[in-house]
Amino acid sequence: MTELAVRTRGLTRKFGDITAVDRIDLEIPRGQIYGFLGPNGSGKTTIIRMLCGLLTPTSGEAVILGLNVPEQAEALRQKIGYMTQKFSLYDDLTVEENMHFIAKIYGLPRAIAKQRISHLLDHYTLTGMRRRRAGAMSGGQRQRLALATATIHEPTMLFLDEPTSAVDPENRRDFWEKLFDLSDQGTTILVSTHYMDEAERCHQLAILDLGKLRIQGTPRDLMDQLQNRVIEIEGANLRQVKDRVVHLSQVQSAAQQGLKLRVLFQPDTENPANYLEQNLAGEKLSIAPARPSLEDVFVAATLGEGA
């Protein structure tokens, strides 16, 4: 499918003097899981809120599922589901009460609502706790409830704002399984995250920093097309080595990973391994090129300009 679920041109939002989102152009194909990867304050939440019609863009345009936002936001609401960063269902209502409430708000006929809720409770393994109050559930359970409720009206598109930030790794895996189920059924999903492993699962990815879109593409392409070379150093006294390495003019950043030091070079550095060996002469180190990881892509993209 080549049809676009989301297309934005020059989408910008300012809060006073601060530009939270700066001229973003996005194209999200239908049926994909599209990731926003970026540090806190990079504008992920602001973009999602603008795409849902919760915030009015300062300038630029956004078309979601063929509807102009914010002008046609009301028509859009029936077609989208939104899972907020903070749990936004009612803590003092039970699982079932929350789901029935949202079903009524979306105007689902009683019989259909009942059937869907029973299916969702089962699918998201919530049946056993359907009479438990949302406030008394664990982070993972609450996220399952939030996702189940966000899909109760079978939206064409889902917006998930850092859905797994309060969830342990195992529940995160399960959560992503559910997202792939939904994607398989044709739902377009926009998910923001600051976890690399989650970003790597997305069909496509946009890396955001300081309100700007730095780079976008499939995770594979982003890693393959990285201009910056990566070298891994093994040996003793890696902390001291790191202090020396980061001051080298060709080195963009260095970070220790276990017994290895990963060094990211400026783009187009010629023969980085030799460069390092010359600069670290005398040390007993093993120096070898490595395949760029998504984290390297992220670091290169977010350091590229500001630093």
Query: Under the rule (CB under 8 A), what is the footprint of another protein?
Result: 49, 52-56, 70, 73-74, 77-78, 80, 82, 84, 86-93, 97, 101-102, 104-107
**67 CB-near residues (< 8 Å, 6+ apart):** 73, 75, 76, 79
Q: Which is nearer to another protein, 92 or 122 (CB)?
A: 92
What distances in angstroms separate CA 105 from CA 114, 147, 150, one per listed residue? Answer: 14, 16, 12
Specify burial of residue 241 (Cβ count, 10 A radius: 0-12, 13-18, 19+).
buried
Q: Which is nearer to another protein, 58 or 250 (CB)?
A: 58
Least distance to another protein from the beta carbon of 110, Å?
9
| Strands across the sheet containing 188-193 | 80-83, 157-161, 188-193, 33-37, 204-209, 212-217
**Residue among 278, 300, 277, 124 nearest 209 (CA):** 300
Least distance to another protein from the beta carbon of 275, Å?
50
d(CA 287, CA 185): 47
Q: Which is nearer to another protein, 14 or 178 (CB)?
A: 14
**228 touches 292 (CB < 8 A):** yes
Least distance to another protein from the beta carbon of 156, Å?
14
Least distance to another protein from the beta carbon of 83, Å?
8
d(CA 267, CA 229): 7
Least distance to another protein from the beta carbon of 159, Å?
8
**Three-state SS at 254:** strand
Q: Which is nearer to another protein, 96 or 232 (CB)?
A: 96
Q: Which is nearer to another protein, 99 or 233 (CB)?
A: 99
**Residue among 250, 306, 307 nearest 277 (CA):** 250
Least distance to another protein from the beta carbon of 182, Å?
17
Q: Which is nearer to another protein, 74 or 197 (CB)?
A: 74
